[in-house]
Structure 1
Amino acid sequence: MPKDFLKDAQDEYDVIVIGSGLAGMTAANMLGATGYRVLLLEQHYKLGGMATWFKRPGGHIFDISLHGFPYGMVKSCRRYWTREIADSIVQLNHIRFDNPMFSLTTSFNREDFTKLLIEQFQVAPEAVHGFFDAARKMDFQDDQHLTTRELFDRFFPGREDVIRLLMEPITYANGSTLEDPAISYGIVFSNFMSKGVYTFRGGTDRLIGLMEAELKRNSVDIRIRCDVERIHCEGGRVTGVEVGGRVIKTKAVVSNANLKQTIFRLVGEEKFEPQFVEDAQAVRLNNSSTQVYMALKADDTIDESTGDLLFSSTAPVFRTDLLLSRDITSRTYSFYYPRTRPEGRPRCLIVSSTNARYEDWAELSEEDYAESKLDLVETTLDALDKYVPNVRERIDHAEASTPMTFKHYTQHVAGASFGTKFEGLRVSFDIPKQIEGLYHAGSVGIIMSGWLGAMNYGRMVASDVDNLLTTKGSRPAASIAD
């Protein structure tokens, strides 16, 4: 008999969270800690969403998704999770760039960028300071018609090399392009430049394990392999969700699913006002990505001067179409040294990431798809040999993922790695105005993309849910943290 993953689940909860990405888990954890009865439903067999990992024979554990995030993760993890999680966040000190314009290593903070731009790139100090100040002051009230390209042209006209230095890492971090609103770049970049780039010591598997333990301590009812079929709404408000042949009642739903999937599949456009539906249909999905996972043999090591993150490109200039092309010219390498998982078996692993279009992979035949994945691995090994000599002889395992892979495991529409473009943020914010008790939290608008953005969005939505339930007389004795 198939296992009943909803066995002993209650018929009603105060809040149901759909999806266990970092936004969904953070919302569930904060609401559970407040005393609400929370049900967390995840369609996959493990938690984490894009913040996940997989294992392969030989002691290899590969992290999927990003290797670096801003220092703000320390504060967010301490406030919304645990001190143990926050104390496990460590800095990456060697961020490398290697392209036809320049080759350098940076600690990726404002002080070091300022020194590089003034001394190596010979940019006027007033332009450098003016740019950093402008990025730091950006907020949601700013002119959203100014593009990132226009922002750079204002301070660094004609300096494609400066654009490359300041833009490439943010494109890797959240999918931003020069054509996107400048605010989507400025807010994220200013977060990184404050104190540099950080990662989680112990790997994503340890992080999610600690988060799962904290969720359980806060009495969150976690159910995996539970794919929600429908969010039920009556009279302009949420009433429950349909999952596993059951309808479970609730006063509030937090969807951590893709924004479009939430609106058009889980709810249905007939439940929303026509103008809202039109705005939601116009929201553009962000790009997806491909990754190649490579593990060195057990006794092999990589000199750490190779870097923690390496932005490598053979393209003459930084351009969005080149970043998305199947003819790959730009790769971002994440190097995982034994210190990444100090308690595990010592291993050196490399993950190569490239931005990609879903349609370039979805339209291939089964045979062509397999051949394209193999070609992706082979060409990546060719490119990596420059930085890890004789890498083919040193590799113990290599495999690739594509936009199709991400769609399969996360159910993200078109395998989107970073949710939607900027206009998706307003649509996501406005969902509760359409249906009382329905909220969305996830990777939207680029600003709310990445690990820190997702976590903070989950916190914001948890507060909104708490406010709603308070007005309905359903607030427990405990009080949610600000």
Structure 2
Amino acid sequence: MPRDFLKGAADQYDVVVIGSGLAGMTSANILGRAGHRVLLLEQHYKLGGLATWFLRPGGHIFDVSLHGFPHGMIKSCRRYWNRDIADRIVQLKNIRFDNPQFSLTTTFNREDFTRLLTTKFGLQQQTVSDFFDTARGMNFYDDQQLTTKQLFDRFFPGRDDVVRLLMEPITYANGSTLEDPAITYGIVFSNFMSKGVFIYEGGTEDLVARMKKELQANNVDVRIRCGVDRINVRGGQVESVETHGRTIRCRAVVSNANLKTTVLKMLDPNLLDRDFVDRTEDVRLNNSSTQVYMALKAGEQIEESSGDLFFTSTAKEFRTDLLLSRDITSRTFSFYYPRTRPEKKERFAIVSSTNANWSDWADLNETDYDASKQDLIETTLDALEKYLPGIRSKIEWVEAATPRTFNHYTLHEQGASFGTKFEGLGISRELPQQVGGMYHAGSVGIIMSGWLGAINYGVIVSNEVDQQLLRTAASV
């Protein structure tokens, strides 16, 4: 008999959380801690969404997206998860860049970037200071018409090299482009510039295991392999969700699924305002990614001077279209040393990441798809050989992931790695006005991309759900 993944689940909860990305898990944890009855449904067999991992023969573990986040993660994890998790967040201090315009190493914080911009790039101290202050002062309510390119032109006209240094890591981190609103760059950039780039020591599998333990300690009912087919609405209010042939009643739903999937597929669009549906349909998905995972043989090593994060490019100038092109010129290498997982086997691994378009991969037949993945692997190894001569002979396992891979495992539309473009944020925030008790938390509007943004959006939404549950309980 097939396993019943809902065995023992109740027929009714206060809240159903759809999806166990960091926003979904954080919402579930806060609401469970507040005493609400919470059911967390995950369609995959692992928790974490894109913040997950996979195991390969030889004891090799790969993180899908453990590549760095701002210092604010420590505070958020301590407050909304526990100190045990927060205390395992450590700084990455060796961030490297190499491209035709410059080569440098940085600790990736404001002080060191100021030093580099004034000494290596020859900028005036006041100009640099004013730029950092402007970025730090940005918030959600600022002018959305100012683009990131216009922001750079204001402070660094004609300095493509400076733009490359300041922009490339953020584009890698959340898919931001020069054409997007400046606030989508400035807020994320200033978060990183506060104290640098951090990582979770122990690997994603350790983080998610500790989060699951915390969820269960707060009485959250966690269920895997339970995708939601439909969210039912009655009288303008969330009534239930349908999963695995069961209808489970609830007073609120938090969807951590893709925004467009939530509104246009899980809900009945006929129950929503036509203008709201039209605007949702017009929301642009963000780009996807390709990644190449490489594990070294036992006994083989990578020198720590190779860096933690290494932004490389062969393009003569910084252009968004080049970052997304199938003719890859820019790769970001993440180096994993034994200190990444100090309690596991001594292993070294490398993950190469590139931004990518869904359209370049979606319609390939299986033969061409397999050939394209192999080409991605070979060209990545060729690029890596420039920095680590002889690396091919040291690698025991290598494989590639594409936008189709991310779509398959996460169900993100078009394999979107960073949710939707900026206009998605308004749709996400307006959802409770369309359906009472219906909320969305996830990667929207770029600002909310990344690990810290996802967790903090989960915090915002859970507080709103908590207030709604208390109001409706008081009115009964």
> Are 1:337 and 2:337 matched, yes or no?
yes
- Name the structure 1 match of 2:452: 452
- Name the structure 2 match of 1:420: 420
- Name the structure 2 match of 1:51: 51
Could you tell me which amino acid in structure 2 is paired with residue 203 of structure 1?
G
Separation in structure 2 between the aligned mates of residue 418 and residue 48 of structure 1, nearest angstrom: 15
Local SS of the residue matching 1:397: strand
> Are 1:71 and 2:68 matched, yes or no?
no
- Name the structure 2 match of 1:252: 252
- Name the structure 2 match of 1:193: 193
Tell me, yes or no, if the aligned pair for 1:312 and 1:330 is still in contact at 8 Å: yes
Number of aligned positions between the proteins = 475
Separation in structure 2 between the aligned mates of residue 65 and residue 341 of structure 1, nearest angstrom: 15
**Aligned pairs for 1:346-365 within 5 A:** 346-365=346-365
Could you tell me which amino acid in structure 2 is paired with residue 20 of structure 1?
S
Separation in structure 2 between the aligned mates of residue 405 and residue 349 of structure 1, nearest angstrom: 20
Tell me, yes or no, if the aligned pair for 1:283 and 1:423 is still in contact at 8 Å: yes
Separation in structure 2 between the aligned mates of residue 202 and residue 282 of structure 1, nearest angstrom: 40
**Aligned pairs for 1:161-180 within 5 A:** 161-180=161-180
- Name the structure 2 match of 1:31: 31
Tell me, yes or no, if the aligned pair for 1:72 and 1:452 is still in contact at 8 Å: yes
Tell me, yes or no, if the aligned pair for 1:227 and 1:244 is still in contact at 8 Å: yes
Distance 1:315 1:223, change over 3 A: same
Local SS of the residue matching 1:90: strand
**Aligned pairs for 1:395-474 within 5 A:** 395-473=395-473
Separation in structure 1 between the aligned mates of residue 239 and residue 389 of structure 2, nearest angstrom: 59
Separation in structure 2 between the aligned mates of residue 51 and residue 180 of structure 1, nearest angstrom: 25
Shift of 1:268: 2.3
- Name the structure 2 match of 1:96: 96
Tell me, yes or no, if the aligned pair for 2:16 and 2:254 is still in contact at 8 Å: yes
Q: TM-score, normalised by structure 2?
A: 0.99
- CA displacement, residues 215-268 of structure 1 (integer Å, 9 cap, x when unaligned): 000000001000110000011110010011011000000000000000011002
Separation in structure 1 between the aligned mates of residue 277 and residue 75 of structure 2, nearest angstrom: 36
Local SS of the residue matching 1:373: helix
Could you tell me which amino acid in structure 1 is paired with residue 168 of structure 2?
E
> Are 1:238 and 2:238 matched, yes or no?
yes
- Name the structure 2 match of 1:135: 135
- CA displacement, residues 182-232 of structure 1 (integer Å, 9 cap, x when unaligned): 000000000000000000000000000000000000000001000110000
Tell me, yes or no, if the aligned pair for 1:66 and 1:173 is still in contact at 8 Å: no
Tell me, yes or no, if the aligned pair for 2:94 and 2:309 is still in contact at 8 Å: yes
Separation in structure 1 between the aligned mates of residue 328 and residue 337 of structure 2, nearest angstrom: 26
Shift of 1:387: 1.4
- CA displacement, residues 260-311 of structure 1 (integer Å, 9 cap, x when unaligned): 0000110021121011111111110000000000011110111101100000
- List 4+ stretches of structure 1 deviating above 4 A: none
Separation in structure 1 between the aligned mates of residue 389 and residue 343 of structure 2, nearest angstrom: 28
Could you tell me which amino acid in structure 2 is paired with residue 174 of structure 1?
N
Separation in structure 2 between the aligned mates of residue 334 and residue 301 of structure 1, nearest angstrom: 14
Provide structure 1 residue ranges, at least 5 long, that are not aligned to the other structure: 476-482
- CA displacement, residues 427-479 of structure 1 (integer Å, 9 cap, x when unaligned): 1000001000000000000000100000000000000001101111169xxxx
> Are 1:284 and 2:292 matched, yes or no?
no
- Name the structure 2 match of 1:114: 114
Local SS of the residue matching 1:429: helix
Could you tell me which amino acid in structure 2 is paired with residue 124 of structure 1?
Q
> Are 1:205 and 2:213 matched, yes or no?
no
> After alignment, is 123-132 or 348-357 more displaced?
123-132
Provide structure 2 residue ranges, at least 5 long, that are not aligned to the other structure: none
Local SS of the residue matching 2:444: coil
- Name the structure 2 match of 1:480: none
Shift of 1:55: 0.6
Local SS of the residue matching 1:299: coil
> Are 1:183 and 2:167 matched, yes or no?
no
Local SS of the residue matching 2:473: coil
Local SS of the residue matching 1:228: coil
Tell me, yes or no, if the aligned pair for 1:337 and 1:347 is still in contact at 8 Å: yes
Tell me, yes or no, if the aligned pair for 1:290 and 1:353 is still in contact at 8 Å: yes
Shift of 1:124: 1.2
Local SS of the residue matching 1:328: coil
Local SS of the residue matching 2:145: coil
Separation in structure 2 between the aligned mates of residue 474 and residue 16 of structure 1, nearest angstrom: 20
- Name the structure 2 match of 1:155: 155
- CA displacement, residues 347-378 of structure 1 (integer Å, 9 cap, x when unaligned): 11000000000111011011000000000000
Distance 1:474 1:46, change over 3 A: farther
Separation in structure 2 between the aligned mates of residue 279 and residue 186 of structure 1, nearest angstrom: 25
- Name the structure 1 match of 2:144: 144
- Name the structure 2 match of 1:478: none
Separation in structure 1 between the aligned mates of residue 305 and residue 87 of structure 2, nearest angstrom: 25
RMSD (Å), alpha carbons:
0.8
Separation in structure 2 between the aligned mates of residue 160 and residue 5 of structure 1, nearest angstrom: 54
Separation in structure 2 between the aligned mates of residue 218 and residue 231 of structure 1, nearest angstrom: 25
Distance 1:66 1:344, change over 3 A: closer
- Name the structure 1 match of 2:18: 18
**Aligned pairs for 1:242-321 within 5 A:** 242-321=242-321
Tell me, yes or no, if the aligned pair for 1:18 and 1:42 is still in contact at 8 Å: yes
Shift of 1:141: 1.4
Separation in structure 1 between the aligned mates of residue 12 and residue 199 of structure 2, nearest angstrom: 38
- CA displacement, residues 122-168 of structure 1 (integer Å, 9 cap, x when unaligned): 01111101100000000111110100000000000000000000001
- CA displacement, residues 333-358 of structure 1 (integer Å, 9 cap, x when unaligned): 00000100000000110000000001
